Amino acid sequence: MPGSNQQTDMPTGIKFGELLNRRWFSEDAFEVEFSRPQDFLFKAGHTIKMVHQNLQRYYSPVSGPNDPTLLLCVNYIKEGKLSPILASAEIGTQFAFTGPHGYFNFSPSPRPPVFIGTDTGVAPFASMARSGIKCHAFIQGARHAKALYYQDLFRPLAEKYVSFVWEILDNDTVSSDLFHGKMADLVAQNLKPGVYDFYLCGWQKMVRDVTHLIDKRFPDSRVYTEVFYQ
């Protein structure tokens, strides 16, 4: 029921946000905007846990810590549990959440930071970009070109921005600077040997493959990871 915040078995520290807006990026993902409780504070890279009836899912805000509302980028799974509810709920519906959770926060250091994200796993980097955080390189990957979300935020964020896809669809508009291949290969091709702070977020296989590459090619670097999908 729109405007209702009645839930059962609510965890402690629960907060509520009203659904204000929804916009679709593609048939696979959309962004939802919620009102933000005045007492809710978080850092870029934190997650919140959405709680709806008996469902609980973690999402990383794409909004900045000082923004007046909460924005979430949601991977739409037709047979999923919570994403279809977020995709179809009426504007004005109240949703419950807890947080902030997690430790995938930016830690300044003398080492150049490198951000690497895939699909909706770029969400924490969008929040970092809106916080004014810059990086040496940003490498963004997606299954297809229309899933390269928030490019307008990421291009100014990095000294070097590289994007790639591992599938090219017939109706994709492919720019001349878009690579096609594997993330680990792209990292090896676009980063000179050195010591970096790597921030990896997205598919588990990507995180695993790139971490193995870092161990071999950039052995003294630090690695921070957040897995969005198995």
| pLDDT of res. 5 | 37
pLDDT at 2: 34
Sort 4 into a burial class: Cβ within 10 Å, 0-12 / 13-18 / 19+.
exposed
Name the H helices within 13-169: 83-88, 123-130, 151-157
Residue 145 has what pLDDT? 83
Q: CA-CA distance, 63 to 73, in Å (whole number)? A: 10
- Are 183 and 209 in contact by the 8 Å Cβ rule? The answer is yes
15-101 and 113-229 have identical folds? no
- Residue 169 has a pLDDT of 52
According to the model, what pLDDT value does residue 161 have? 93
- Are the C-beta atoms of 102 and 152 separated by less than 8 Å? no
Q: Where are the domains of the chain?
A: 15-101, 113-229
Distance CA 90, CA 122 (A): 26
The amino acid at 164: F
CATH 3.30.470.20 fits 15-101, yes or no: no
Q: Could you give the 3-state DSSP secondary structure of residue 100? A: strand
Whether 15 and 97 have beta carbons less than 8 Å apart is answered as: yes
Give the pair of three-digit tokens for residue 44.
Answer: 């870029």
- pLDDT of the chain along its 230 residues, tens only? 333 333 444 455 899 999 999 999 988 899 999 999 999 999 999 999 999 888 999 999 999 999 999 999 999 999 989 999 999 999 999 999 999 999 999 999 999 999 999 999 999 999 999 999 999 999 998 888 888 999 999 999 999 999 888 765 555 554 545 555 678 888 988 899 999 999 999 989 899 999 999 999 999 999 999 987 64
Domain 113-229: give its CATH architecture: 3-Layer(aba) Sandwich (3.40)
Q: pLDDT at position 144, please? A: 81
**Confidence (pLDDT) at 65:** 96
Predicted TM-score of the model (pTM): 0.88
The residues, any chain, with a CB within 8 Å of residue 191's CB and separated by 6 or more, are 114, 137, 217, 218
Give me the pLDDT at residue 124, please.
97
